[in-house]
Amino acid sequence: MDESIWATARASRAWLDAANGTDRAELTARILKLSEEAGEAAGAWIGVLGQNPRKGVTHTAQDVVGELADVVFTALVAIESLGFDSREAVASCAAKIRSRLPD
């Protein structure tokens, strides 16, 4: 990943901290934002499938990708907001997953 992703996550956290504070309610909102973003990704996929006959096909795969990227970035900001380094957290997660993959 590009270093600017990590710097942007940190900058986003600082911006939110300055605008909204850092109390438990704010941290809770940042974590719950993940559910909102995941719901948008799910809604976009439903739109790709045309599953809602009233609406038909309303989204593209690229729309879904954009929503999934929102989920990822929102998670990075939430990690930073909890006082952890998002790059280290993602690297640790990837290493754990890699260790479980077959050779």
Mean pLDDT to the nearest integer, 77-101:
98
- State how far Cα 9 lies from the chain centre: 11
Confirm if 59 and 44 have CB atoms less than 8 A apart: yes
Q: Is the pLDDT of residue 1 over 80?
A: no
Q: What pLDDT is recorded for position 13?
A: 98
Q: What pLDDT is recorded for position 74?
A: 98
Q: What pLDDT is recorded for position 103?
A: 86
Mean pLDDT to the nearest integer, 32-60:
97
Q: What is the number of residues in the chain?
A: 103
What does the domain layout of the chain look like in residue ranges?
A: 3-100
Distance CA 49, CA 56 (A): 8
